Amino acid sequence: MRFRGRAKNGAAPAAPPPPVEASPGPPPVLVIDALGRKCPIPIIMLAERIREVPVGQVVAVLADDAAARTDVPAWCRMKSQDFVWEETLQQGGWGFHIRRTY
């Protein structure tokens, strides 16, 4: 007889994912909401607005287009900005945190 919640090999089911941890860096000074926009729009929005953030501060870009996961870090390398970290959003998509360097 097989019980619900048991793996095929009889082991207990996998543990739930750990709770979301606090951000590893300072909170963003500016949040750019690009949810629902296709790339390259999130990059364009970031490029237009990063000058609003003081040097050394963080801006967050919220995006749900999968291309943003490669485009935002690539833009940061190309423009010599610091890609701080990426978070997964509960509503879907990602939050990309960028520190302005100049």
- Per the DSSP assignment, residues forming a β-bridge with 99 are 58, 82
Nearest to 34 by CA among 83, 68, 73: 68
| Beta strand pairing call for 58-63 and 94-99 | antiparallel
Q: What is the CA radius of gyration of the chain?
A: 18
The residues near 33 (Cβ < 8 Å, ≥ 6 apart) are 62
Verify whether residue 76 is a known catalytic residue.
no
Name the active-site residue from 29, 39, 45, 53: 39
Q: CA neighbours within 13 Å on the CB side: how many for 82?
A: 11
- Active site positions, annotated: 39
